[in-house]
Chains A and B, each alone.
Chain A
Amino acid sequence: MTRYKISTHQLLYKMKKYIFIPAIVLVATLLTFGFTQISNFTISSNSLPKADADNAGLTLPSGFSALKVAETNGHARHIAVTKEGDIYVKMADAKGGKGILFLQDDTKSGKFEKQTGFGNFGGTGLFVRNGYLYASSDEEVFRYKLDDKDQVVNQSEPEKIVTGLLSRGEHEAKAITLDNDNNIYVNIGAYSNSCQEKDRQPGSMGIKGCPILDSAAGIWQFKANKANQTYGDGDRYATGLRNVVGLDWNQKDNALFVMQHGRDQLHDLFPKYYDAKASAILPAECFYEIHKGDNAGWPYIYYDQIQKKQILMPEYGGDGKKTADKKYLDPIVGFPGHLAPNGLLFYTGTQFPEKYRNGAFIAFHGSWNRSPEKQAGYFVAFVPFKDGKPSGQWEIFADGFAGKKDIASPRDAEHRPCGLAQGPDGSLYVTDDVKGTIYRIMYAAK
């Protein structure tokens, strides 16, 4: 077979119409659209909005800045940010039929002034995944189909995917998250502080066998794409969790992580074993890695972060020192008591420095029951992670939400952090459920 011998130069000359014109088109395309596309991924302060002069009143680590992107004037709970950079916020009340707000920065000013709302149910849970917006009331979970711009196709007809969940006052918020296998995880909080016979009555002992655990005080797993599921269709994925408002699926480790709200009032209810100071810091607010079948031990034990042990609850015969016969799940981090973790987010962006990659941000809503000590919390904390485990001490990442240093009562706090979300460019969004302020925290290398 004869072979043509041809130089590269001759080849290019011959192919020119196949190379030259497409090349021009390509360059033209890049010039027209490339800059806007590229700016979404460039970590330069030019592509981020201008921060507020006072960083939205927040104290942040060096290199970080913040702005208030929206005021929703309601109790803003959990939040999701789409790949287009639009924001969904779940409101605690459906004032004016707007239980879910949709915020857009249509003028590209950095402020999300375009606000619309839908959804006739209040609640806390909100999550965007696989072309759907998931949202929960205190009894049910719904989903709304999204179009290719991540906007809700039909605002007035959500699909009900879970119904009939218990809501008996306390710990009623049904926070949600989804995994990568079309499962949805729903918190069903205990309708009790410590499973006493008489909830919160001094000295009342715990109910034997705590029947609350049958249908609450745990995380339930349902299918994310099946309509009208009830308890019978789901699985009690984890138990012994008093109330979880902050939870997230860790993409790197493919596991569920949760933050538990620990029990209250050790001193008020059992002053014989706990003074006011001990009661203000115990028990730990626990950060757990959860696998199917795990039992975190409520109401039988609490985690004492000082003794670094699971301690038997006084309701079940404890005295502050006794441990239980059975060993329950240990937390991966034990935070000081009563800080009220309402948001958990594993950071998967690249905007923030290396140290923050795959680490966990936690929104601490702030305590209410540390009196006579001052209240505590009201900040966003950070836990660094390496190989799926905390790799260092936790630290306060964003402080100052409360607006003043000494908080005697939660009503003194101007803002209380609640929900967390990551933007497509790696900015961190935080909601406040006092006034409904939405914050955006950004990093720009100097």
Chain B
Amino acid sequence: MSLSAMRAGRLTETKQPDFWLQKKTISPGEKVFKKYCLTCHQADGGGVPNLNPPLIKTEYVLGDKERLINIVLKGFNEKIEIEGEHFSNAMPPLNILKDQQIADVLTYVRSNFGNKAPAVTVAEVKAARSKLK
């Protein structure tokens, strides 16, 4: 803070570099991923051969948002082929998560693991969930 700012009674600068002020926090989306997704899809999002699909730049992750939201809400147990492989394990329905949590984790997945896709909003999750009722 400059001397003149202090004399003028201003107690804070308008801009402070983040790394001075903030402790490293984990994003809400990453928090959900670590608790509900990591065991199966792995810390690097690469999945497990033959069992759990990867989340790295696949059509399912980068494509249609409603389809992706429904995978989280309803679970997924179809024998699909992703990049030439099939995956045996059942994904449970995670409708127990709140709309905000689902929006956060899907946004997190779509912007990590090499993925670059638009965020998923709470409104989109809400809309998808209401269609299931």
Contact = CB atoms under 8 A, between A and B. Distances in A.
Interface string B12-44: 000000000000000000000000101110111
B6 interface: no
A198 B93 contact: yes
Interface in A328-360: none
Contact of A170 (B43, B89, B92): B89
A277 to B, nearest CB: 14
Contacts of A200: 89-92
B38 A408 contact: no
B90 A170 contact: yes
B42 A169 contact: no
A202 B77 CA distance: 16
Contact of A411 (B36, B48, B88): B48
A434 interface: yes
A371 B90 contact: no
Question: Size class of B's contact patch?
Answer: 20 to 34
Contacts of B48: 368, 409-411
Given A92-B50, A201-B96, A411 B42 contact: yes
Interface of B is mostly: loop
Nearest to A75: B50
Interface in A59-104: 75, 92
A294 to B, nearest CB: 26
Interface residues of A, number: 27
A172 B102 CA distance: 31
Given A200-B90, A409-B48, A371 B79 contact: no
A268 interface: yes
Contact of B92 (A92, A201, A434): A201
A171 interface: yes
Interface in B85-101: 88-94, 96
Contacts of B52: 368
Nearest to B79: A169
Contacts of B42: 368, 371, 408-411
Contacts of B47: 411
Interface in B61-102: 75, 77, 79, 88-94, 96
Closest 4 pairs (CB-CB, A-B):
A201-B92, A200-B92, A409-B42, A368-B48
